[in-house]
Amino acid sequence: MKEVVLDTETTGLSVKDGHRIVEIGCIELENLIPTKNKFHCYLNPERQVSEKAFEVHGYSDEFLSKQKKFSEVADDFLKFIGDKRLIIHNAEFDLAHLNNELKLFGKNKLHNEIIDTLTLARDKYPGSQVNLDALCKRFRIDNSKRTQLTALIGCDLLA
């Protein structure tokens, strides 16, 4: 069975405030083992990155202004994920942003089966920290290369 670990970075927290995606990272898994297939892109959000988001991922407005727009990568992204199950840490956040981007460009929202590892971690470890860094520490996964939050590194750690 093939699945896709997916993560995004954004200009801010809320789609309702007009925030947009600045990075999409995907790693394909086959029988829970990463394949060589990856999808990764930076995106021009056509708006400024909030200060808090910049502190998280470090992508400047200048850097992002030179990237492709979501509409230019949407078909390749959708082809990559196909109908595969998506594994996402905090799926509600990522799906809200992805479905907003798809809606802005006249595409249907995602209907893939979703596994939200944040929900799984909250159920398994109630009362404990369950962010990705805490889970890496719990499972002794080296996350030292993650000095900032980036979508592809997040995918790699989650995989």
The pLDDT, as a whole number, for residue 149 is 77
pLDDT in tens, the chain (159 residues): 899 999 999 999 999 999 999 999 999 999 999 999 999 999 999 999 999 999 999 999 999 999 999 999 999 999 999 999 999 999 999 999 999 999 999 999 999 999 999 999 999 999 999 999 999 999 999 988 777 778 999 999 999
Report CA dihedral (66, 71, 76, 80) to the nearest 10 degrees.
Answer: 100
Q: How far apart are CA 144 and CA 7, in angstroms?
A: 18
What's phi and psi for 67, nearest 5 deg?
Answer: -95, 165
Residues pairing with 4 in the sheet = 28, 86
81 with 108: CB under 8 angstroms? no
Contacts 24+ apart (CB under 8 A), 101-106: 101/20, 101/21, 101/70, 101/74, 102/74, 104/70, 105/70, 105/71, 105/74
pTM: 0.95
Q: What is the pLDDT of residue 80?
A: 98
> What angle in degrees, to the nearest 10, is found between the helix axes of 91-104 and 70-81?
120
What is the pLDDT at residue 1?
A: 86
Q: What is 68-87 written as a DSSP string?
A: BPHHHHHHHHHHHHTT-EEE
Supply angle C-alpha 155, 157, 159, rounded to 5: 65
What pLDDT, on the 0 to 100 scale, is given for residue 78? 98
Q: Which pLDDT value is given to residue 60?
A: 97
